[in-house]
Amino acid sequence: MAGLVRPHEATDPVAACRYARSAGLDLALATSATTGPAREVRRSTASWWDSFTDYTALARLEPGARLWVPGPARATMNLFALVHAAETGVRVVGSPKEASHACLTPAHFDRALSKLSRGTVVVVAGAALPTGLASRAAEAGLDVQHYYGAAELSFVAWVGADGLHAFPGVEVEARPEEAGSVLWARSAYLCDGYFGEPGPLRRDGDGWASVGDLGTVTDGRIEVLGRPDAIITAAATVLVADVERALSGCATRDFAVHATAHATLGQVVTVTLTDRANREPMERHARAHLPVSHRPRRWRVVDSLPLTAAGKLDRAALERADL
């Protein structure tokens, strides 16, 4: 389509983005499709470039920084970090031991933590780190910065001393809807829509947009509860975010809550762990703090959680009973 650059189809995605900027063309960016069909997000290059100055400061990217980005360059989170590095003169390195900074998904961070040098600044995308992962990072002397955003919204919030607050230049509000309190954002960083399959992006006609994440905003502090993914079990509707939030405080390694098929109940709440030792405290916590309908009925242990090509949790793979 005329007037567009598709970095994920280019041999060098970073160079493709920089060319689009110089030529005044828009970007069509492939999403990771972790919860649905593949689609492309259309955005102007300005919607990325305009955030560079604030991102530089928040990610603590000082002169001489050496950045490690192990994930695929075609994934939007990684591509943004690499384009920013190219535009601001940050050197990209090929191993964690060379790095002063790293850009990682939570799953990649869990796997790479022991390889990072003390003092490394790690930027992680996501609403929050699991308590156990945050503790391990602190013990390792890592400076962890995390943010909440989406391919459609770009940056929405960045971690501060008391939790997430709106990224500079972004307005955030929570609106009551049938699914619960839904987060909406307004900024210069929003995308212009989709190509291909429709996605979760919604607009209200006044510059606000949402991808349906549940959350709250209290005195400027933002709590993100996740997408309202639900498990229907024995006629009860269980939000995955509710169960994950309840269990995250007693997990020391990566885990995921998801559905698996059941012959009589339709679906059951399932937890897949990466550390067998976590099951007993998590099961005990579930009995004490979750209603019967929300308690996991199945527990599985794997060496590592399955990831998509973009380094995000592959829920479709988790839901297969033969994983």
Kindly list the domain boundaries of the chain, sorted by start residue. Answer: 4-225, 230-318
* Distance in angstroms (rounded) separating the CA atoms of residues 14 and 265: 48
pLDDT given for residue 34 in this prediction:
42
Instruction: Look up the CATH architecture of domain 4-225.
Output: 3-Layer(aba) Sandwich (3.40)
* Distance in angstroms (rounded) separating the CA atoms of residues 234 and 126: 31
Neighbouring residues of 245: CB distance < 8 A, sequence distance ≥ 6:
225
10-residue block means of pLDDT along the chain (323 residues)? 85 98 96 60 97 98 96 92 98 97 88 95 82 89 94 95 95 92 97 88 96 94 84 80 90 92 84 96 95 93 88 82 56
> In the numeric block, which tokens belong to residue 185?
């954002």
Neighbouring residues of 80: CB distance < 8 A, sequence distance ≥ 6:
48, 154
* Distance in angstroms (rounded) separating the CA atoms of residues 110 and 302: 14
* Distance in angstroms (rounded) separating the CA atoms of residues 132 and 251: 6
What does DSSP say about strands 230-233 and 236-239: parallel, antiparallel, or unpaired?
A: antiparallel
CATH code, 230-318 = 3.30.300.30
Residue 68, CA distances (Å) to 49, 85, 153, 186, 296 in order: 20, 10, 24, 31, 37
The DSSP result for 223-243, as a single string, is EEEE---EEEETTEEEEHHHH
pLDDT given for residue 33 in this prediction:
46
* Distance in angstroms (rounded) separating the CA atoms of residues 226 and 213: 5
